Structure 1
């Protein structure tokens, strides 16, 4: 009887050891060496017109599982600059003008290595149904005082560009509402809250058949440059530099081109100095 109990105990011990070994070798068991590390998040403050570009870049990062995610917030460049001056934390900033980036560099909010990454131009847009019957830029100017028109505020790059257009072409837009970003102008035009609006050509094209677009005659300084830079003290410098490399490199150039932007001036130095 004692011998039988010993045999049974031995069999149970062997089964226990075998079960332990099988469990340890099971592919579903956790392996701390192979556990995925969390993605590095980069906080980006970007001009509203750049949104489709960053969406393209972020999609590429997700498809490649690059371990980098974007937390992007979009708005008028002047608003973003004000937020940064008020202490808003960020890792990368993309402005719609060289002047605003120059201010951030001068104030020490960003690295002095700021880069021009694209160029944008002004466009005249009207609602798809075009209730005012505008058929060209010249026609708009001829009836501007009778039309409801939306533009960006003067401190916003697209608003500054609109004022430059008025001065260079000797025309008057007769603005009825000043918006804080191009996206706000586009919203009013798409919803036919105004008869016309001045925005960037990229935003106009992105709206598709929701608006009609009219070209503006060439004039001096008829474009604005998109600039990108890293914060002076980013949360994760390596991740921020990785994103800036993408935005300023071939990946960014392709994304900007697909969104309708023009290249930055070839002779432009990669500095705001």
Structure 2
């Protein structure tokens, strides 16, 4: 090719253009790598298996939401049921990390069985209440009115081996009344379902469950019932599946964050320190 040809004259310009393109491509690749490295790695999470009394669901939902909002490394995998059912499952070998019961007695049984560590702790207190459907088919206007017409009304209670059933029995003994239960359920959640669906005229459930149902039910507190309370207890399994994560969650539950979650769900404070021992 002749030195004076057009290509000969332009080859320097072409080489410079190719160099610029190479540098630009290299810079884009480097930026892309930097952007990828700048993304924060996802926080690894550990699921903690919690067996919990049905009545504590509103509080545990708050606990779980708080953990997720904070991007915590612990998440809850919760199974709810009647406390006596949960105890039976544990005695049958059900694996778990933390158990939350709706009574001190059931937790003491688990401690005696060696199923949980010895540091069980009270989280909150709950009360029994009379609950009726929103349309109030039995036309009940107070607890005393209910008792006066109990024989004519259909009523749901918990079975006596469930904490809410034990409390209903104690109520009858202390107040000298008979509620004429037409159905005995395995959990307070089942009682609430019967009431909300209008399958019964009234039911006895925890005050927190009644408040969580909002405008689906009407609530009447029980007067002159001095022992109208049950304690919510938590403990770590003797052989948890996730030891470290279970201990982290337990510490949160018994601390300020856990107390706040239970209070926001309508629970009363736990018993005084001198009354909180399982001994």
Q: 1:121 to 1:23 in 2, by over 3 A?
A: same
SS of aligned partner of 2:267: coil
Is 1:180 equivalent to 2:186 in the alignment?
yes
Is 1:156 equivalent to 2:162 in the alignment?
yes
TM-score, normalization by structure 1? 0.90
How much has 1:103 moved relative to structure 2?
A: 0.7
Structure 1 residues 215-224 or 250-259, which shifts more? Answer: 215-224
Is 1:58 equivalent to 2:75 in the alignment?
no
Distance (Å, rounded) in 2 between the aligned partners of 1:18 and 1:95: 65
Structure 1 residues 238-247 or 146-155, which shifts more? Answer: 238-247
Distance (Å, rounded) in 2 between the aligned partners of 1:174 and 1:143: 10
The correspondence for 1:234, drawn from 217, 236, 240, is: 240
Distance (Å, rounded) in 2 between the aligned partners of 1:209 and 1:90: 35
How much has 1:255 moved relative to structure 2?
A: 1.0
How many residue pairs align between the two structures? 269
How much has 1:24 moved relative to structure 2?
A: 5.1
SS of aligned partner of 1:119: strand
How much has 1:238 moved relative to structure 2?
A: 1.5
How much has 1:109 moved relative to structure 2?
A: 0.8
How much has 1:268 moved relative to structure 2?
A: 3.9
Q: How does 1:122-137 map to 2 (within 5 A)?
A: 122-137=128-143
Is 1:246 equivalent to 2:252 in the alignment?
yes
The correspondence for 2:95, drawn from 89, 97, 114, is: 89
Is 1:189 equivalent to 2:195 in the alignment?
yes
Q: How does 1:5-20 map to 2 (within 5 A)?
A: none
Structure 1 residues 25-34 or 119-128, which shifts more? Answer: 25-34
Q: 1:21 to 1:237 in 2, by over 3 A?
A: farther
Is 1:47 equivalent to 2:50 in the alignment?
no
Which digits, 9 at most, give the CA deviation of each residue in 1:229-271, with x for residues without a partner? 1111112211111111111111111111111110011234654
Task: Report what 1:79 is aligned to.
Answer: 85
SS of aligned partner of 1:197: strand
SS of aligned partner of 2:127: strand
Distance (Å, rounded) in 2 between the aligned partners of 1:195 and 1:241: 43
How much has 1:23 moved relative to structure 2?
A: 3.1
Task: Report what 2:265 is aligned to.
Answer: 259
Instruction: Name stretches of at least 5 consecutive residues in structure 2 with no aligned partner.
Output: 2-7
SS of aligned partner of 2:218: strand
Which digits, 9 at most, give the CA deviation of each residue in 1:56-110, with x for residues without a partner? 1111111111121110111111111111111111111110000000111111111
How much has 1:218 moved relative to structure 2?
A: 2.7
Q: 1:50 to 1:190 in 2, by over 3 A?
A: same
Distance (Å, rounded) in 2 between the aligned partners of 1:74 and 1:134: 31
Task: Report what 1:206 is aligned to.
Answer: 212
How much has 1:220 moved relative to structure 2?
A: 3.6
Asked if the contact 1:98–1:227 (Cα under 8 Å) also holds between the matched residues in 2, the reply is: yes
Cα RMSD, aligned residues only: 2.4
Distance (Å, rounded) in 2 between the aligned partners of 1:268 and 1:203: 28
Q: 1:89 to 1:24 in 2, by over 3 A?
A: farther
SS of aligned partner of 2:273: coil
